[in-house]
Amino acid sequence: MKVLTPMKAIRAKCMDCMCDSYNEIKLCPITDCSLYPYRFGKNPNIKRNYTPEQKAVIRDRLQKRVPEIKGENISQDV
């Protein structure tokens, strides 16, 4: 049996509740659910503050990855 972190377990519960639909989780109408703030698999109480240098590294990494992703999509369509 796979052991889940608490956040992954909450995400799995939301997926089960919304019939494995990411869009339904996003549109979840059950705002009084105790898991509602955590439904995206992230802790909303943790705010990440990045330095300008860290932001530059993240931006560069993303820009390098985007052409790879687009290339993968194009090759799948052909």
pLDDT at 75 over 70: no
In this prediction the pTM is 0.56
Least confident of 1-5, 17-21, 59-63: 1-5
Chain centre distance of CA 28: 15
Statement to judge: residues 12 and 32 lie in one domain: yes
DSSP H helices, 1-78, are 6-17, 22-26, 52-77
| pLDDT tens by residue, 28-56 | 999 999 999 998 888 888 888 889 999 99
pLDDT at 77 over 50: no
Statement to judge: residues 58 and 30 lie in one domain: no
Least confident of 17-21, 55-59, 74-78: 74-78
Token pair of 40 as six digits: 């995206």
How many domains does the structure of the chain reveal? Answer: 2
Statement to judge: residues 31 and 57 lie in one domain: no
Statement to judge: residues 34 and 54 lie in one domain: no
Range of the domain at 35: 1-41
Residue 20 and residue 13: Cα distance in Å, rounded? 10
Residue 9 dihedral angles phi and psi, to the nearest 5° = -70, -40
Residue 51 dihedral angles phi and psi, to the nearest 5° = -75, 160
